[in-house]
Amino acid sequence: MLSDAYVGRSHRSKEGRARLKSLIERSKEMLGLPEGYRLGIVPGSDTGAVEMALWSLLGARGVDVCAWESFGEGWVTDIVKQLKLPDVRTFVAGYGKLPDLTQVDFSRDVVFTWNGTTSGVRLPNGDWIPAEREGLTICDATSAVFAMHLPWDKLDVVTYSWQKVLGGEAAHGVLILSPRAVERLESYSPVWPMPKVFRMVKGGKLNESIFQGDTINTPSMLCVEDAHDGLTWAESVGGVLGLVERSERNLAAVSGWVARTPWVDFLAEDPATISCTSICLKIVDPWFEGLSAEDQAKVAKKVASLLEAEAAAFDVGAYRDAPPGLRLWGGATVETSDLEAAFPWIEWAYAEAKAAG
Ligand X SMILES: Cc1ncc(COP(=O)(O)O)c(C=O)c1O
> Is-contact 322 301, C-beta < 8 A?
no
Planar angle of CA 254, 128, 136, nearest 5 degrees = 110
**Interface with ligand X (CB under 6 A), residue from 56, 119, 137, 161:** 161
How many residues make contact with ligand X (CB under 6 A)? 10
**Interface with ligand X (CB under 6 A), residue from 27, 56, 117, 178:** 117
- Between β-strands 201-202 and 205-206, what pairing exists: parallel, antiparallel or unpaired? antiparallel
For residues 58 and 60, give the distance between their C-alpha atoms in angstroms, rounded to a whole number: 6
**Interface with ligand X (CB under 6 A), residue from 27, 119, 137, 143:** 143
Nearer of residues 142 and 273 to ligand X, judged by Cβ: 142
Q: Quick check: 56 binds ligand X (CB under 6 A)? A: no
Q: Least distance to ligand X from the beta carbon of 352, Å?
A: 29
Contact region with ligand X (CB under 6 A), list: 39-47, 103-111, 245-253, 305-313: 39-47
> Is-contact 263 284, C-beta < 8 A?
yes
Under DSSP, the state recorded for 321 is T
> Is-contact 246 54, C-beta < 8 A?
no
Nearer of residues 62 and 151 to ligand X, judged by Cβ: 151
* Percent of the chain that is helix, strand, coil (3-state, to 5): 40, 15, 40
Q: What is the dihedral of CA 160, 270, 323, 65, to 10 degrees?
A: 50
**Interface with ligand X (CB under 6 A), residue from 27, 56, 113, 215:** 113
Q: Quick check: 273 binds ligand X (CB under 6 A)? A: no
Question: For the residues of 296-320, what is the DSSP string, one character each?
Answer: HHHHHHHHHHHHHHTTS-SS-BPPT
Q: Quick check: 169 binds ligand X (CB under 6 A)? A: no
Q: Quick check: 247 binds ligand X (CB under 6 A)? A: no
Q: Quick check: 277 binds ligand X (CB under 6 A)? A: no
Q: Least distance to ligand X from the beta carbon of 113, Å?
A: 5
Q: Quick check: 119 binds ligand X (CB under 6 A)? A: no
**Interface with ligand X (CB under 6 A), residue from 33, 38, 47, 330:** 47
- What does the binding site for ligand X look like in residue numbers (CB under 6 A)? 45-47, 71, 113, 117, 140, 142-143, 161
